[in-house]
Structure formats: structure tokens, C-alpha cells
Structure 1
């Protein structure tokens, strides 16, 4: 059956997120505190304190000492010290002593892949983590996936730790961490997660037992029952994103201890950490420890994944899911039979009302069970089933809709792109004049020197060449879900992100532009063999807020885009001629497209009609596809650009000249060398900022 295929899992995930976001009550207490390494901390440590990453472990020892003296209930590191300190063995030894003195819980990572780990290292990790393994009564090995390889902290640290917990992150199909493995099986050993190790230490848990699908934790005066799913995962209740807990800077805690040793006041009052579970982790972009959760699906620190689970264990807050077919299929069957009876006996309006009431009842029960019992039941499949049965029973509206679709397709299919037609068919109200503002990506292209080429061709030859060129380019734009707006002679205007919005519009635009340039290179070989002129095309791409919709009169409309961001894309296309490049993108597009492309920063330019300069880049290719000499030339060029902006023209000239060793005759390097030669000797003084002012469009 369709439900058994798992087709509703994504909907279950989305609805469980919605329930937590809308109906989770603020926690009565907040036992967790985060100490984070942020981007600002890395910069401060490097530029102010002269300490580059990785930090010496003696610094962590200072933080541990501060937290111990402050009375923290547990100190937990969400960091894996798998390599020896670059500052020497004494650095590890000192940190190990601080760990033992304060009773610190460290992190390890399990994996089902050996990767680059040697057999000797794997065996060593197994041995030094042996003392942290748990005896779990009644455990079924089939319930827990085997992860035989462990990456543990170096022995100088592991041997001194009070506890060791696994930091394996389990993500659903959309990348969000909704479940956590509290027990991690490695062969016939069970290891606690970082959250379980910390919570068990606080609660003084002495017994671990599986009762059915529940994990029972017991101690002298406490017991916790945690429901697990069929894969041995617990589903914690998130109270919010990491901002619900207090967050402090690890660097300031380190400095606080140093200041106190010197007799000065600390940055933080030690009382802030008294009786708190302090999780030390990373929130810096460079360290890439982001773990999406229902409240923040982008950039929440991994510490929150473990902190939430600790909070749930301490307060018995885990969710119980009832998405299994044994619970859902009987409900689907009963509601289908009930709706079929009502539809056969009563009019469509009654069927609609009855369906609506059933939807309210099902979803109301789901909300009630979540709020008062922490239980998740199916809403998605039941709602879809109710709606589907109603549609099947009252299908007369289908004919009206079909006629409307036929009208729109016939009226507009001849002169609008298929994507636009589909959007109009799905929403005929889009035929009204006007539009909406959304973030999109605009594209402009123009053939360099086309006027000269066209003068040498007959009208028939010109039309044939243009048709071939435009067809090839438009096919590629369509392949990557772009919309061709219009042609202006040989120029193409297109956009991504409408009428069907996609988050990856910038990424798709760059993929399309690279493929267009590649196809042009192939076509130039073909045209050369035919004795035709070669076409070189300049392209400009920019992302930003744009107005998109039907513009024009009530009798003649054009689905198009407008706005400053659109104009900038056009300016970037024209700006290629200053640098001899063919594919220029803006900084906004670079950021939105992600890190899968290799670019070269060209300049900061002030285009015509703008007062604020924009940073522009040359798109070189996809990551891994750019030749080594091009990458080396890019580094030299960007170093030269940095010197140029500082007014250090001698160093800039040296770097730009060195570019030619990698890419002879590199046009952008030639342009900057020309500028340097043309500069007045006093240009480096005063308000010099290296911004290029384009004096033409």
C-alpha cells in the first residue's frame, strides 16, 4: 500500500516540527548552558591574543578549572580530541589532569566505516573506550545498527575522563536531527550517547534495561523510561532552538579564569554556571558543527542536539511516535468507509461539511495527544485520505477545472514559457496585472562584437546563426528550470525563481551559465569548420529582491522581472568588457549559490547609476573542474587585488605579473597592470579604496 512505502514520512516530520513549534510549552527549568567557540572568538583569539586555531588544550584546562570552581553539575565536551595537541605532549597531559580533577565527560564518534583508520588505531580505540561500555539487559542487537569503528580522544585524555559519550548525529531525509541514538552498539558492546552519559552521571544511573521498545534507566532513587523506535532511536521534544538556553563564549570563560588568577574580576560571574550542565561546543562557520533541528534548520550548533536530549532525560520529556501501519491503517479504512457512505447518501455540500468536521476532529485529537501526552499520531495520511475520498465522491468539479485548464493552455501556450503556463493553469489569478517581490536570480547575456559580425552576413545567414545560437542557449536555460524573459536582438534576458519558486535559483543559474559557455565552445569548433565567425558571449548574473509578475496593459501582458537587482545583472554583463571576462556574478549570487563553485574575485566596482560599490567575481567552474594553473593564478590575482586596494601597488604589480606564469595573457591581470601604470603616484594617499567606477553601461 501507498502508506507502507513510507511516502508520508516527510509529511510526518514536517507536521511533528509544526506541533513542536506551535504547541511546545517553555521549559520550567533550564538545566543546560552552552559554551561556544564562535567566529568572533576565533578572530579575537587570533588577532588580540595571538592564538591561532587549533587552540592549545591548556586553554580548555583553564575553562574546566573555572567551571569546576563555579560548581557546574557536569562539564561536557561536544568536541572530539582525536589528534594529539600540536603544542606537544605536555599540553595533552595538563588537559588530562584538569579533566580528571573536574570529572569531565568527553566525546567520541562511532562509525560503520573504517575510512583512513588503521586496524591498530581501531583496536586501540576499542580498548581505551572499553571501560565506558554499558551492560544493557534485554537488548536486542537487531534493534541497534552496528557501528564497529570508534574515534576516541587520545589516551592522555580518555584515560582521565569521567565519562565518554557518542556524538553520532542522525538526520532524517531533509537533514534535520529529530532522533538521537542514546545507545550506540559497537559489536557486542553498548556505549552511551554524550547526552545519556551526562544525564546518567547527574541522576546516578546504575542500571540499563530494555523493556519492549523502552529503555529503562534506574538508580538508587530515580527511574526514567525512554521510548525508542524500531531502530533504537529516541525522539526528543525540542523546546526551541539553541537560544532558549543561556549561551556564553568559551574564550571569555578561559580569560575569566586567567583574570581571576591575576586578581582581576572575571568576564562572567561564576554563579551563572552553578548546578548547570555545561556543554562546550562550536558555533563557528569554519568548524562546521551545525546540526539542524525543527526550530532551526540551518545553523544551530551541535551542542543543542545533545543539550536537548539531556534536558529530555532529566525531565522525562521524550516523544512517543505512533506512525506505524498497525495504528494508521485501521483509521484510514474506517474513515474511508464512513465518507463513502455519507457521499452516497447526501449531497456534495453535506459531504464537504462532514469531511471538514472529520479533518478538524483528527487534527484536534493529534494536537491534544501531543500537548498532554507527548504522543505523535498520523495527521498527514488520514487528512489526505479524507480529502481524496471526498474528491472521488464529488468529482463534478473536475470538469469545470478541466475546461478552465484547457482555456488557459490554448490562450497562452503559444507565447509563454511552459513553466509560466503551468503556473497560470494552477493559479489563474496570476493573469491579473501586478506581481510579487521575491528573491530571485537574473541573467543577461550579449554577444561580444555582434554588430561587426552581423555586417558581414546576409539577412538569411544572420537569422540562421541567431536561431541556432538562441535555441541552444534557451534549451540549456530550460534544462536548469530557468525562464527566458525576452530577446533583444542577440541579447538574452532570463531569470530563476519564478513562476515556480526554488531555493536553489542561484545555484541553477550558475550551472546553466557554465553549460552555456561549454556549449558555445563546442559550437565555435563547429562554426570554424563551416567557415563562420566565432561567437563569444558575455554573461552577467545577480541575485536579490525583484518584482516578478505580469506587466503591461490589460490587453497585452508580459511575464517579466523588474528592480535594481535586475538592472545590476545587466550592468555586470556589460562590465565583462572591462576585464576581458565572459562570466561575471555578484557577491549575493556567490553566497546564495553555495560553495560548489570556484570563483575569482575581480573587483569592487561602482556601476553606472549606483553609489555603493559591489564586489564582483568571475565564475571559473564547478569545484574540482578547474585546472590547477587556473587555481594558482586565482590565488595570485586575489593577493594582487588585496595589495591594490591597500595602495601597495608595487606588491600588486608583482602578483599580477606572476599570474602570467600560470595563465599567460590573463585579461583581468592585464587590466590591473594597465590601471597601475596609469595611476598617479599620489593615488595611494587620501581616500584611495581601489573601487573601480564604470563610466559606461
Structure 2
């Protein structure tokens, strides 16, 4: 492995930037679509991720090959199917379908036929033929259960005027799709602007009616449906998520449903279509086939649904193929919208950054390794990155895949070329060390973002942990400096490990004291509970050390811990040349005062009422007193944690109950009864002993009328 110099680093960085930027540039936008295709194929092969078709909120009513081969439709043009279609539609609506959308367009009617038939055109003799069909359209439209489709472009396709009139304009929606330059459908448009107002397209309209919600078009260009903000990598589009490779959509054959109507099985329609969004579309091998992001792994024309009247054809289960019937593009979009499961793609800046980072790793590997090693490194990075990308794609988050892989390959090749073209010189390595004392989490953030830390802070709700060794000066006097340093290193190491294992950040050591913060720099909604658990474990661990550790035995080491929760300023604070990630506020001051107050009450851990309020039932507490600490006028209630949850011992529970009764009597100026309650446990419980003495004194000499049960703590 060779050493690299400054020029190598600069060259690797430039190559990484150029390669990453080139493969994510607009001229190579086709790679972005290819990433979706590869991710869809890998997810299907490695994970499967097929959702239950029975749970699908959308189903397809297919005009399929079986329909064309079944009487009375066999050898009949589709314009003659309208009466039977009306019967099926009526049964579907009676079965409880939420809405029916048409992915088929009947552009003409037999009533408009100009074919000669005797002494008059055929259309004249067929007047009224579509009456039943138009009546069903009107009934469905009036109930908000029917949406007809059209195509809006330079050569628009629309249903014949009678249908448009029956369905009313508000129930006509566009079936347009978004086709990428490589003729693949990966996204669906959401709305068209008509008269300056956005009008939903078919998929969004069906999902809106299926959910009983109205699509919201936000000022920033985003679209929200039933609380779900639709991710849009391209403005006004939805990136399709083909989780089940088309197999998560149930398909009902029109021929079978027609037979079911003839059979009079209304219960089947209620089971099949109750509460569903239904899309009518053509499912044939030769008509309306679409390439989608399933093209590499293969897609399916849905999953055959349960049948009612006819036996399934042998070819009803089809093999996967590169294209799918267009109706499944709309059905997938509707399911994505109703389940909040559309794919979230990264924007251009993040795609470029990821490509540059991957290219950078390979470029730096090429600086250090031989060409064979570089190829192995590229394969390893690509495999690991691909696994991460597939794992995220299972959660509908699409990372760029082909762009980083190709950028890394190009960067490795260019770096190998650089090394061959420019002769290797004497290697130099310059290391610059900065004296920034930061939390590991802050350093990780800095490295990930590429930004150096800077002065500044923010307000955050945190819990401050303040501890101090009791009688440290007297202990230090009896030890040599070497022994003292070894003892404190062991003590601070053990306590720090516990604090950090509970998510705390050690701000500083001040001699034998530890100042730590929970809830920063990493957010932690349970910071108060974690701080208390850390304090309890620190107490127990010190007891173990005193019993078993040779350096601690016979010294009776004890510590006091103060805990307080509240708003504090956290961030990089100090001079412009040297600073530290720390915490500042009155919250820190109170924690420090509570640590010192343990000496007065004979406790080892004390917390404020603010900390108790944020722990809920996760900790068993007993209230100690109401105090006023130095530097703060407002009194606060202080508590001692007994154990986690409900794990306190029976003795602790009884002592806490007696203490609570005594404290209530104390605050009610019933000092004799208070002394009696506190006295029950005074022999072994220091707080009870303290209050028993105070209560006895006040019982003998009652305080003035303006006395309040608040203890003012002087000093630390």
C-alpha cells in the first residue's frame, strides 16, 4: 500500500467531483430511471416484498381475452357490449364499490353508426341501444362513484358525447401518463392546470374518492392527500412503487362477472368490491402494453381474483414479462396514494453528493492500491451500497444506484491512469491536528457533512447530570499522586462508560466531578429517564467497586449526583481558536446545587421536579423536600430515585410511604405527628433522621405564623 501525497489527494478529489457530477448530469438522466429499474428488479429477486392482493384497496375489472371469446361478446364489436356492461357496472356499484374508474375510452356509439341498414343507417335503427348504459353512468356520476377517462394531448381522445353528458364534466379525468425519454413509465402526473386551477388526473381522483378526502395542492408545489404529502422528485408527479411486480392487484374477468350477474349472485359482488376502488381496463397481450420500472425483473398483469360463474382459463396465470397492461399502471398509482407508499427519490444535489462520495472512495482506493485491489474495492463498495439501497427501497426510499456505481468505476479508472501518466514522487504525508474537544456524535456529523465545526448554539430540552466524589480532599491526602491518579482514572472510566451507554454525553471533568448532558448533541425524547437510570447504575457500580476492586477497597468511596431537566443552550462555545461542545443555563446551575444538597439530606442521588415530570412511571421516586437553591428565587421540589419502574424493595416502599405521611404532616404544621412518622425509619434512613430532628425541634418551639415549608440551601 503506497503513501499518498497532497497532490494525490487533490487529484482524487477532483476526479471524484468530475465523475460524480458527470454521471448525475442532465445529459445522463437516463441513468436515474435505470436505477429505479434495477432497484425494482433487485427488490423483487432478493426480498420479494409482495403484498396481499386481498388487502388491496384497488381492483381491476379486466376486459380480457376471455371476454372476447365468451358469448354474448364473442365476435361482437365492443360498442355492442354497453347493455351488458351496464348490468355489470350496476352490480359492482350495488356491491359497495367506492368508485369506478374507466381506463377504456368508448369513442363511438352504435347509435352513431352510418353503416347502411336497409333504407336507413344502422345508427337510426339502434336509437336507445345505449340507454341502460348511459343511465348507469348518470347514476354512478350522481353518487360520486364513477369517473370516465380521457386523454389530453395534441390528439385528444374522449368518450362519445352521450357518455360525457351522462357522466358530467366533474367526473371526467385525464388518463395521461409520464413517459421518460427511454419510453419507460416510472412516474405518474398528479394534476393538470385547467383555467389556472389544478385538476386531479385519474389516479389521484380515484384515490381521493376512495379515501373520502380532497387532494390539497400546496403553495410550494407539493400535493397532500388525507394527510399524506406525496413525494415528488419531478414536479407534480408520483414515483410509482411496483412492490408486488403487479401481483398485488386482484383482477376480475369481465366475462366471469357477466356470468355472475346472470347467476344473480349479489353476495359475490359485495365480497369482491365492497369498499374497493375499481378500475376498468383492457388486459390483452397486444393492446395498451406499457414498459415500466418492472421491465428488468418482469411484471405481471395482476393476480387472478376469486371467480363466481365461470371456470378459469388455462392461460389465466401468465408468466412475467417486460411490459404490463396499462391499467395496472393506474392501479399501482392508486394503491400507492391510498397506502402512502409512493417512492421517495433524492433530489439532484443529494444524488450528486452520493455519486461523488462513492467515486471519492474508489479514487482514494486507487491511490493506495494496485489496479486489482481497486477493482476489488469497487466491487465491495458497490455490493455494500447496493444492499443498503435495496434495504431502503423496501421502505420506498430510492437511492441512486447506477450513477454512483458508474462514477466509482470511472473514478477508479481515471485515478489508475493518473498514477501511470504522472510518475510517483517521494511520498509525503501532512497531518494537521485541531484541538477541538467534541462529542463523538459531533465529530461523526462533521465528517459526514464535510463541514468543520463552528461557534454557535441552540436551545434544547436536556437533563444535566452533575456528580462529585464525597470527601475527595481527605481521600487524596491519604494517597500518593500515582495511586490517586490510578483510582480516579478507574472511577471516571467506569462512570463515563455507564453514562455513555445510556446516551449521555460527558461535557467535562472538573477534578473528581463529572458534568454530563442527556438529550444533546443527539436528540433523545427520553433523556430524563436515561439520566436517572445512569445515575442509579453509577451508584450500584460504585458499590461493586468498593467491594471488589483492589484500588477501592477500604476507602469507602462515595459520590453525590444531582439531576435537573429543562431548557439549556447547547453547542460549540468558546473562543474562535479553541472551543468545546458544552451546555450552559440555569438548568446546569440547579443540577450543581442539587448535587451539593445530597450532603445535607444524606442521599446519593437527588433530582428536581422537572426531571421527575419527564420520567413518568419509568422510575420509582420519593419526594424529599421543597427547597430554594442559591441563585434561584422560585422554590422547587426535590426527589430521590429509589429504583427503576416498580422494582423498589418492600423496605423502600414502606419507608417512602412513612416519609410521604411525615412530609404531609410537616407541611400542615403538624410537627408532632411528622416527627412520629419520620422517626419510624430514622435509624437507617438519613432523610427521615434529618426531618425527625427538625420536626421535633419545631414541635417544641413552633415557628411563626408566616413560616413556609421551604428549605433555603446556602452555598453549594
Bigger radius of gyration among the two: 2
**TM-score, length-scaled by structure 1:** 0.47
The structure with higher relative contact order (CA 8 Å, sep 6+) is 2
